[in-house]
Structure 1
């Protein structure tokens, strides 16, 4: 009996398919889920999630990381970004995702630093005028 694999992105359901085997990677290492495995939840690192359909076809999905929850006959993945395709093409997709994530992190840190500096400047002006 296969599990129902669903991959959610912030604005859509990216994938909904039947799977007899799901392989992914957590911070603790790679793992494989089969339909009768115990329920679990884990974080996923950026990389490749693969699954086997009941027909025996292997499907590869590059993820930017995320959360995986297996509950009963359902495996749900929540991720910011996913790309499906042939394994050879996905290595480049993962590299691009990691670079984009690093760039977003840098921009976020810079924006926070600007907000902090502005707050300190305004606080000092307030103290001077008080």
Structure 2
């Protein structure tokens, strides 16, 4: 592997790409604690926990992403991060509010969907029970 000053990072959600571009450093958190990656770091795979992912671009600008659980794979100078949910903030304070708003809305949508699914499952069970009743 050649020495490089940057790595290519892709941060993907199930429905879209949240970030794609060059980075000089990346800091994230796994189940066993926070870690940092530089372009010439060894290849690496880990499961991520809900946390803040900090990415430093080649010009020195830091970008902050609030992420849910996911997976990070570093291979060569390419880093792929796949997470269930994520949001970017201008700084840590704005990220906190953005994450609360977006994740809160998603949690409410998921709660409504789970409730509808439960009602559907209960209806199916009732209908099957009716089918098993002997005809009069």
TM-score (norm 1): 0.82
> What is residue 94 of structure 2 aligned with on the other side?
89
> What is residue 41 of structure 1 aligned with on the other side?
45
Alignment CA distance shift 1:98-1:29 (3 Å): farther
Report matched runs for 1:59-70 at 5 Å. 59-70=63-74
> What is residue 18 of structure 1 aligned with on the other side?
22
Q: 1:117 aligns with which of 104, 115, 122?
A: 122
Alignment CA distance shift 1:99-1:12 (3 Å): closer
TM-score (norm 2): 0.79
Q: Contact 2:89–2:98 at 8 Å: present in 1 too?
A: no
SS in 2 for 1:98: helix
- Cα deviation for residue 123 of structure 1 reads 1.0
For structure 1, the residue ranges without an aligned partner over 5 or more in a row are none
- Cα deviation for residue 99 of structure 1 reads 2.0
Cα displacement string for residues 26-46 of structure 1 (whole angstroms, at most 9, x for unaligned residues): 233222112222222223233
Alignment CA distance shift 1:26-1:96 (3 Å): farther
Cα displacement string for residues 44-84 of structure 1 (whole angstroms, at most 9, x for unaligned residues): 23332111122222121222332221111111112344332
Q: Which has the larger radius of gyration?
A: 2
Alignment CA distance shift 1:66-1:75 (3 Å): same
Question: RMSD value over aligned CA atoms?
Answer: 2.1
Q: How many residues align?
A: 130
User: How far apart, CA to CA, are the structure 2 residues paired with 1:28 and 1:129?
Assistant: 58
